[in-house]
Amino acid sequence: MRFKHQITVQPEDIDQMGHVNNVVYLRYVQETAEAHWKSFATADLQKEVVWVVLRHEIDYHKPAFEGDLLECETWVEEANGVKMPRNVVIKNEKGQQLISAKTLWCALDGKTFRPKRIEPSLYEQFI
C-alpha cells in the first residue's frame, strides 16, 4: 500500500543555485515517513514504538523550485527483525520524478529506546 503526502516548497528550502537544497530533500523524505506513520498509528502506538534511520540513499533526478507543490509517495518493504526498508518518490505537479530514495528504519521500544522486533501485527498496519 502506498501513502501520498504533499509538500509545498518554502523559500527557506532554496539554496544558492535557486532550487531545493539536497539536504532539504532528506527532510522531505523524513516528513513523508512520519506522516505515513502518524496516519495510522494511535497515540499509544506512537509512544510504544519509535523509529530511527539507519541509512538513506537518495538519487536526484530533477530540481524543485520555490512554490512547487510536491507529491511524495512512500511504501515499505518486508520487515526483517528490527529493520524495515522504506521507499520514497517525490514528483512535481507535472508528474516528473525529482528524487527517489530508499531508507532503512529501525524500530525502537518507546520506553527503553532499544531495538524492538517488528512483529507481523505491526508490519501489517503499514500495508
Distance CA(126)–CA(3), nearest Å, equals: 9
Query: pLDDT tens-digit profile of 24-53?
Result: 999 999 999 999 999 999 999 999 999 999
Q: How many domains does the chain have?
A: 1
Please state, rounded to an integer, the average pLDDT across all residues of the chain.
97
Write the CATH number for 43.
3.10.129.10
Structural domain span for residue 112:
3-126
Query: Which of the residues in the chain have pLDDT under 50?
Result: none
The string over 26-64, giving b where at least 16 C-beta atoms fall within 10 Å of a residue's C-beta and e elsewhere, is bebbbebbebbbeeebeeeeeeebebeeeeeebeeeebb
- Tell me what pLDDT residue 127 has: 85
Q: What's this model's pTM, rounded to 2 decimal places?
A: 0.93
- Tell me what pLDDT residue 52 has: 97
Contacts of 15 (CB under 8 A, 6+ apart): 21
